[in-house]
Amino acid sequence: MTAPFLDAKNPADIERAAQLLRAGEVVALPTETVYGLAADAFNEAALRRVFEIKSRPFFDPLIVHVADWAMLEKLAQPNARAKKLADAFWPGALTFVLPKKPEVPALVTAGKPTVAVRMPAHPAMRAVLKAAGIPLAAPSANPFGYISPTCAAHVRDSLGERQPHILDAGPCVHGIESTIIDLSDPDAPARILRHGPVTREMIETALGEIVDTSAPKAATEPSPAGLPAPGLLKRHYSPQTPVTLLSRGTPPPPCADNTRQAWVLLKRPRRPLQKPERTDLFFLSENGQMEQIAHNMFAMLRTLDKGGYSTLFVELPPRAGLGEALHDRLRRAAAR
């Protein structure tokens, strides 16, 4: 049976979500990036349930969400770079990897000596964190390897029988997962493990240093050892329908009306490409703005994944700024 959504606009529902989390339940929560599947970061039974609901392998560590700096200090050992980046981007869509405190369960960190921590900006998420008073481990609220959920219905629709409570706050602003930066070794350059809404350029400006973006080699097989961030699995964030990437500006071929191909383009043309208007063309934005493209990307892939298409052709955005993160997710979505 599907439990009704909790409503983020209702203070009693925020309190209810916090209570459930304190009692060791799992609750799907909205953030400004994607919906997360949250549990008390210090409650092993609750953490296990998160892995179970997602069918997530235990080698894939979780991001822990905090309400404030004091909460971070219960989990991690911050350093000068973390302080600088927190001043610039927290609360926000940037996750730090830092040396962990001994109390943090190995389940959260996949046995690593480091922990990933973020102070999210979403008002509902912040309200729950504050009311619960505990750090919340929360990976994206989707089955492992599938597209991240950017609204409450995505969470409900993809987790099948294993329904968590879900706090509904409408669609996520960014629609793409947080940037992850490894700050654990003060003697090495800071390293981006996953591109996201906070771009390399933004981080370099705030730090006044060059960051390392040499992505650790993509893994084809999950291997506990060689995987600094499992978002780096070669295939991840994937719809079931095969995805083929198009270089920017590739025009879709003239429509053959029995095809089951969908063409996902970055920007709606000013005038329809053909009359009558084609039904196999889908547009990620009205104006080509990267924020809008990111906001719509996962939702579009999900909808089309249910449309019975044989292939989704997706136009690649320019690679600068936020485009780096989009390239990254699309390449993984297209990997076979």
Binding site for ligand AMP (CB under 6 A): 60-63, 97, 109, 112, 114-116, 139-140, 177, 180, 193-194, 228-231
Question: Which partner from the list ligand AMP, Mg ion, none does 60 bind, CB cut-off 5 to 8 Å by kind?
Answer: ligand AMP
Instruction: Report the residue number, 51 or 282, with the smaller CB distance to Mg ion.
Output: 51
Question: Which partner from the list Mg ion, ligand AMP, none does 115 bind, CB cut-off 5 to 8 Å by kind?
Answer: ligand AMP
CB of 140 to ligand AMP, least distance (A): 4
Neighbour count for residue 65 (Cβ, 10 Å): 28
CB of 123 to ligand AMP, least distance (A): 20
Helix H or strand E segment including 5: none
CA dist list (Å): 26 to 115, 176, 251, 258? 20, 22, 45, 45
CB of 245 to ligand AMP, least distance (A): 21
* Token pair for 276: 């009558």
Angle at 141 between CA 140 and CA 145, to 5 degrees: 70
Question: Which partner from the list Mg ion, ligand AMP, none does 168 bind, CB cut-off 5 to 8 Å by kind?
Answer: none
Question: Which partner from the list Mg ion, ligand AMP, none does 135 bind, CB cut-off 5 to 8 Å by kind?
Answer: none
Longest Cα–Cα distance of the chain, Å, equals 65
Instruction: Report the residue number, 235 or 267, with the smaller CB distance to ligand AMP.
Output: 235
At 39, is the secondary structure helix, strand, or coil? strand
At 226, is the secondary structure helix, strand, or coil? coil
CB of 285 to ligand AMP, least distance (A): 24
CB of 142 to Mg ion, least distance (A): 6
Instruction: Report the residue number, 14 or 136, with the smaller CB distance to Mg ion.
Output: 136
DSSP 312: E
Question: Which partner from the list Mg ion, ligand AMP, none does 328 bind, CB cut-off 5 to 8 Å by kind?
Answer: none
What residues make contact with Mg ion under the rule CB under 5 A? Answer: 140
Question: Which partner from the list ligand AMP, Mg ion, none does 109 bind, CB cut-off 5 to 8 Å by kind?
Answer: ligand AMP
Question: Which partner from the list ligand AMP, Mg ion, none does 26 bind, CB cut-off 5 to 8 Å by kind?
Answer: none
At 230, is the secondary structure helix, strand, or coil? helix
At 305, is the secondary structure helix, strand, or coil? helix
Compute the distance between CA of residue 307 and CA of residue 110 in angstroms, rounded to an integer: 36
Nearest to 72 by CA among 15, 26, 129, 111: 129
Helix H or strand E segment including 10: none
Helix axes 290-305, 323-334, angle to 10 degrees: 20
Instruction: Report the residue number, 114 or 140, with the smaller CB distance to Mg ion.
Output: 140
Question: Which partner from the list Mg ion, ligand AMP, none does 229 bind, CB cut-off 5 to 8 Å by kind?
Answer: ligand AMP
CB of 280 to ligand AMP, least distance (A): 31
Instruction: Report the residue number, 231 or 252, with the smaller CB distance to ligand AMP.
Output: 231
Compute the distance between CA of residue 181 and CA of residue 44 in angstroms, rounded to an integer: 26
Instruction: Report the residue number, 60 or 305, with the smaller CB distance to ligand AMP.
Output: 60
Nearest to 237 by CA among 168, 158, 308: 158
Instruction: Report the residue number, 9 or 234, with the smaller CB distance to ligand AMP.
Output: 234
CB of 219 to ligand AMP, least distance (A): 11
Instruction: Report the residue number, 230 or 317, with the smaller CB distance to ligand AMP.
Output: 230
The order of strands in the sheet holding 27-29 is 6-7, 165-168, 27-29, 36-40, 136-137, 63-65, 114-118, 94-99, 179-182, 191-194
Compute the distance between CA of residue 327 and CA of residue 215 in angstroms, rounded to an integer: 13
CB of 22 to ligand AMP, least distance (A): 22
Question: Which partner from the list ligand AMP, Mg ion, none does 112 bind, CB cut-off 5 to 8 Å by kind?
Answer: ligand AMP
Nearest to 59 by CA among 200, 233, 205: 233
CB of 24 to ligand AMP, least distance (A): 20
Handedness of CA 56, 170, 6, 22 (dihedral sign): positive
